[in-house]
Amino acid sequence: MATTNGSNDLSSEMEVDAFRRLFPLRFHERHLLESIRPDGRPLGRARDTTISLGAVASANGSALAKIGCTTMLAAVKLEVMTPKAESPDEGCIAIDFHMPPICSPLVRPGRPAEAAPVITKQLTDTILSSGMIDLKELSLVSGKAAWMAYLDIYCLDADGALFDAALLSAVAAFSHLQIPVVSLNDDGRIVLISEENSGAMWEKEPVNKEKRKLKLESVPFSLTCLLHKNYILADPSDEEESIMETFLTVVLDSSFQLVSLNKPGGPGLAHTSAIQDCVGINKTESERTSEDIG
């Protein structure tokens, strides 16, 4: 008796798997009718989020962020540059998003993923326009030296909602960033002050007294939603994204003001009501996530 039940379970499991592979849209729509998704989430619920700071010891600031299975590693490295003439008191941030071949079966070595430069541009626009970082905080010596923050984000596992996870990891890395203590030496170069050379080296005062963190204003939070017929699915997985191709990304800041809205084409059209719903879902989910992260 037990064995016949066992083989029935196995064959019905294989049938479900086969149905999922052969008719993915019908498989998902069958779930949507019951207001649920294949992984058991309600439609408006984002996946569990975890953040871990300081993942890369050799970087000035780093963080590992996971939304469900999507994993992003962000690292900030500070280097010294000469500020531009028109903004002598401002540093600079350069953001780059990479999708190495480990993260997804669709990425081949030697052929960079199509999504990578798109997300790089989106991240740059969002982070710089949200006003999260005051570039004046990255200044060292007015007109002569300022920090250039190189932010590199690596996708380690691509399971949908890449932009959301990337933004989260970038924000976390900046929150972890510690600006090292440096001084200006005789050649006009900025040099790190470490315990070994602190006694002998500096004849001038250090440029900044102690290691400090950046002050982050209005931290942006992003949520991507899929629009399919009348349904709005928050935080899609990779499978859902590949089947239902219309999505909408809403980025709100900590006071729930709109930082950016992106609906990059797609076969479906969005009513204004859908856009308002997405903004509402972003609000709810960002509150829930900030409770989880604390």
Partner 1 sequence: MAGKTINTPTTYTPSPTSQNKKRSSIFTGSDWVRPDGRGLHQCRPAFLRTGAVNSASGSAYAEFGNTKVIVSVFGPRESKKAMMYSDMGRLNCNASESKDLSSMLLKALEGAIILESFPKTTVDVFALGVGVWWNIPYIAGDLPVVISCASLALADAGIMLYDMVASVSMSCLGKNLVIDPVSEEESYQDGGLMITCMPSRNEVTQMTVTGEWSTPKIHEAMQLCLDACSKLGKIMRSCLKEAVSAPQE
Residue count at the site for partner 1 (CB under 8 A)?
A: 47
> Measured from the CB atom, is 65 or 182 closer to partner 1?
182
Query: Token pair of 165, please?
Result: 């996870």
What is the distance between the alpha carbons of residues 91 and 81, in angstroms, rounded to a whole number? 8
Question: Judged by CB under 8 A, which of 32, 36, 43, 81 binds partner 1?
Answer: 81
With CA atoms as reference, report the closest residue to 98 among 126, 118, 78.
118
Other CB atoms within 10 Å distance of the CB of residue 55: 18
Query: Token pair of 181, please?
Result: 């203590």
Give how far Cα 31 sits from Cα of 20, 39, 184, 217, 231, Å.
Answer: 11, 10, 63, 40, 11
Query: Token pair of 206, please?
Result: 């250090």
If one asks whether residue 53 binds partner 1 (CB under 8 A), the answer comes out as no
Question: Judged by CB under 8 A, which of 152, 240, 277, 285 binds partner 1?
Answer: 152
Query: Token pair of 137, please?
Result: 């905080």
Q: What is the CA radius of gyration of the chain?
A: 23
Site for partner 1 in 242-281 (CB under 8 A): none
> Measured from the CB atom, is 105 or 267 closer to partner 1?
105
Write the binding mask 101 to 130 for partner 1: x where contact by CB under 8 A, - elsewhere: xxxxx---x---------------------
Site for partner 1 in 184-223 (CB under 8 A): 189-194, 196-197, 201
Site for partner 1 in 131-150 (CB under 8 A): 148, 150
Contact status, residue 49 vs residue 289, Cβ threshold 8 Å = yes
Other CB atoms within 10 Å distance of the CB of residue 124: 16
Contacts of 112 (CB under 8 A, 6+ apart): 99
> Measured from the CB atom, is 135 or 252 closer to partner 1?
135
Question: Judged by CB under 8 A, which of 51, 115, 119, 158 binds partner 1?
Answer: 158
Min dist. Cβ of residue 100 to partner 1 (A): 5
Ramachandran area for residue 199 (φ above 0: left; ψ -120 to 50: alpha; else beta): alpha
Min dist. Cβ of residue 8 to partner 1 (A): 21
Q: Name the pairing type of β-strands 145-157 and 92-98.
A: parallel
Other CB atoms within 10 Å distance of the CB of residue 192: 12
> Measured from the CB atom, is 105 or 294 closer to partner 1?
105
Question: Judged by CB under 8 A, which of 151, 214, 219, 226 binds partner 1?
Answer: 151
Question: Judged by CB under 8 A, which of 100, 206, 268, 280 binds partner 1?
Answer: 100
Question: Judged by CB under 8 A, which of 8, 11, 12, 82 binds partner 1?
Answer: 82
Q: Say what the alpha-carbon torsion angle 79, 85, 90, 92 is, to the nearest 10 degrees.
A: -40
Question: Judged by CB under 8 A, which of 32, 36, 53, 92 binds partner 1?
Answer: 92
Coil, strand or helix at 252: strand
If one asks whether residue 235 binds partner 1 (CB under 8 A), the answer comes out as no
Question: Judged by CB under 8 A, which of 37, 41, 44, 59 binds partner 1?
Answer: 59
> Measured from the CB atom, is 120 or 254 closer to partner 1?
120
- For the chain, the residue count is 294
- Which residue ranges make up the site for partner 1 (CB under 8 A)? 55-59, 69, 71, 73, 77-82, 84, 92, 94-96, 100-105, 109, 148, 150-152, 154, 156-159, 180, 182, 189-194, 196-197, 201, 238
